[in-house]
Amino acid sequence: MVEVICDTSFLIHLATRKIKNMDSINTEIGQIQFVVPSAVLNELKKLSKSQKKKQDAITTLEFARNLKTTQMSGKFADQAIIERVRKRGGIIATVDNELKNKIKSLNGSVMSFSNDKIVLES
């Protein structure tokens, strides 16, 4: 099973939108498991106190209960994810362009969305 580390932006999108190819994504790249870093959960808890992002953050926290979580060092989620890629590589799920570029520069793989479909970027 391939673990895909989710950042906050990807997880919010995944939890709050209808994803067209959710059922077929496992067969395209093998069986995947979305993994949520503890730093992402902490960011979502902070966002749940914000009037603007409150509902999406609460919905996403509920959605994340069904996913595997992992401890990652780092004060901020992006920092922790970059450090993980630097040490171990892997697939990172994000919609953040700056983070995508950093991951690719470290030879990591990026999963994202295009037209509400999950795609693996090259």
Query: Which CATH number characterizes residue 106's domain?
Result: 3.40.50.1010
Confidence of residue 100 (pLDDT cuts 50, 70, 90): very high
Q: Report the distance separating Cα 79 and Cα 31, nearest Å.
A: 27
Give the tens place of pLDDT for each residue, 51-66: 999 999 999 999 999 9
Q: DSSP string spanning 31-97? A: -EEEEEEHHHHHHHHHHTTSTTTHHHHHHHHHHHTTSEEE---SSSHHHHHHHHHHHH--EEE---H
Choose between 61 and 121: higher pLDDT.
61
Whole-number pLDDT of residue 22? 74
Residue 91 to residues 61, 95, 111, Cα–Cα distance (Å): 21, 13, 7
Q: Which domain covers residue 52, as residue numbers?
A: 2-121
Q: At what angle do helices 38-47 and 8-16 cross, to 10 degrees?
A: 70
Q: What is the pLDDT of residue 107?
A: 93
Query: Mean pLDDT over residues 114-122, rounded?
Result: 87
> Which residue type occupies 42?
N
Among 22-26, 50-54, 96-100, the range scoring the smallest mean pLDDT is: 22-26
Asked if residue 81 lies in contact with residue 72, where contact means CB atoms within 8 angstroms, the answer is yes
- Of 79, 94, 89, 90, the C-alpha closest to 38 is 79
Total domains, the chain: 1
Q: How far is CA 14 from CA 21, 64, 95, in A?
A: 11, 10, 11
